[in-house]
Amino acid sequence: MISFEPTEDQRLISETVLEFAKTTLSPRAREFEQAGAVAPDVRRSVQEMQLALAAFPEEMGGQSLGLLTSLIINEELALGDPAAPFGLPGFGAFPLAALELGGARTQELLQPFSAEGDGAFGAVAWSELKAHPSRAGFSCVARETDAGYQLDGQKAFVGNANLADCFIVFAQVDESAGWGGLGAFVVPRNTDGLSVGERHRTLGLDCADFRSLELQAVKLPGAARLAPELSAEEFTRAVVRFFAKYSLIVAARQVGLSRSAFETAREYCDIRQAFGKPIGHFQAVAFTLADRHMDGESASALCRRAAWCWDSGKPEAECLLRTAQAVAHAHEAAMRCADDAVQLHGGAGFMRDVIVEKMMRDAKQMALVGMTAEQMDQLAAALEVRGELDPALVLPTPETQSIFI
């Protein structure tokens, strides 16, 4: 039976993180935005709290608290500043990709994220700017050599590429197999032939740094390839699991943004007066606030149900379906909450002095991180109607829509 009542540990973690978000992240959100990064002292504080790998097994440096606890942490952090988790060490896509694809190397890949200090960064290079002109699959190619592999190509929209010590790069291994011929490779930052491009100028999430990667004759040993023992179908499923779990984490941040947008709008509607009374007393405004509160509550419930499915060991198809539903709804709900928060502030909502305009930009940008609502709808349809996972349809490819990660 599903219980939405948090455990005592989850309650304590939630209260601690929420206090940190309100006292540290929220007051400094504009500072991080202008600097284009989360301040080092804040990154250090989060690292000391040991939050990044809360869901991961203890033997891999985590706390074995489950995906649901990780969602709670991300939701509370995002209530303070939705962009901040994207600029924190260990909160990116790299650890989840390592967990799903790392195999025997998983512990080695995750170790830096559990170490003391300011925290390590990793990055996942998945997206490309455009589809290959003559075949399905990535333009970035990994060719087998006598010594291992050689990677050539470009990747785009790579989160924290400027800070990452290590990358997991997805490339085409079998050019004749299309999206069924992918491989994943561990590429250290100091590898010859690897260069990090200029920062992408984005709509929102300004303290998250997204950049391109250039790979020119990058030579890697055979051991750099992750999960070579998996069949094409097994590899696709592992990649889909990675994207589903990471997208669920992003959805939890959208829930935090939805809560923050609603609370900010409600407070404003209690203060702003028109015709002798607070505007929140007018039915049209009150109904809008009520609907947005329901959006936040329903998105939170769907996300937590999906995380509960993963933690409870439910069948993979059920976990993926619940995740697809939750992520799609959370993205749409957050955009409605942020948009209405701006609308209810009137002209002030469009001013940079008022935080709701940042929420609206962050909500839109976040909807393009991980799998989008449209891609999650496609995944849900594939599970409900066809029952199979065609990588060309259920993965965020350049042929459909490239994503930030």
> Are 200 and 242 part of one and the same domain?
no
Rounded to the nearest 5 degrees, what angle is found at the Cα of 59, between the Cα atoms of 54 and 65? 25
What is the average per-residue pLDDT within 213-218? Answer: 98
Q: Is residue 401 part of a domain?
A: no
Asked which of 198, 226, 254 is the last residue of a domain, the reply is 226
129-166 burial code (b ≥16 CB/10 A, e <16): eebbeeebbbbbbbeeeeeebbbbbbbbbbbbbbbbeb
- The strand pairing partners of 154, in sequence order, are 214
CA 212, 217, 218, 222 dihedral sign is positive
Q: What is the pLDDT of residues 17-41, one digit of tens each?
A: 999 999 999 999 999 999 999 999 9
pTM (whole model) above 0.85: yes
Would the pLDDT of 321 be above 80?
yes
Asked which of 226, 247, 263 is the last residue of a domain, the reply is 226
> Are 323 and 214 part of one and the same domain?
no
> Are 252 and 327 part of one and the same domain?
yes
> Are 101 and 149 part of one and the same domain?
no
Question: For residue 184, what are the domain limits?
Answer: 123-226
Q: Is residue 380 part of a domain?
A: yes
What is the average per-residue pLDDT within 206-226? Answer: 96
> Are 127 and 114 part of one and the same domain?
no
Q: What is the pLDDT of residues 346-385, one digit of tens each?
A: 988 888 889 999 999 999 999 999 999 999 999 998 888 8
Please report, rounded to a whole number, the percentage of residues in the chain having pLDDT higher than 90.
86
Please report, rounded to a whole number, the percentage of residues in the chain having pLDDT higher than 70.
98
Lowest mean pLDDT among 15-24, 47-56, 74-83, 218-227: 47-56
Burial class (CB in 10 A: 0-12, 13-18, 19+), 50: middle
> Are 142 and 93 part of one and the same domain?
no
Q: Is residue 1 part of a domain?
A: no
CA dist 73 and 55 (Å) reads 10
What is the average per-residue pLDDT within 74-97? Answer: 97
Asked which of 118, 134, 162 is the last residue of a domain, the reply is 118
CA dist 48 and 351 (Å) reads 36
CA 371, 372, 378, 383 dihedral sign is positive
Q: Is residue 40 part of a domain?
A: yes
Q: Is residue 404 part of a domain?
A: no
> Are 266 and 383 part of one and the same domain?
yes
> Are 140 and 188 part of one and the same domain?
yes
What is the average per-residue pLDDT within 193-212? Answer: 95
CATH number at residue 245: 1.20.140.10
Q: What is the pLDDT of residues 120-161, one digit of tens each?
A: 999 999 999 999 999 999 999 999 999 999 999 999 999 999
Q: Is residue 402 part of a domain?
A: no
Would the pLDDT of 118 be above 80?
no
Residue entry with tokens 């994220």: 113
CATH number at residue 197: 2.40.110.10
Q: Is residue 197 part of a domain?
A: yes
Would the pLDDT of 1 be above 90?
no
> Are 222 and 240 part of one and the same domain?
no
Domain count, the chain: 3
Q: What is the pLDDT of residues 255-285, one digit of tens each?
A: 999 999 999 999 999 999 999 999 999 999 9
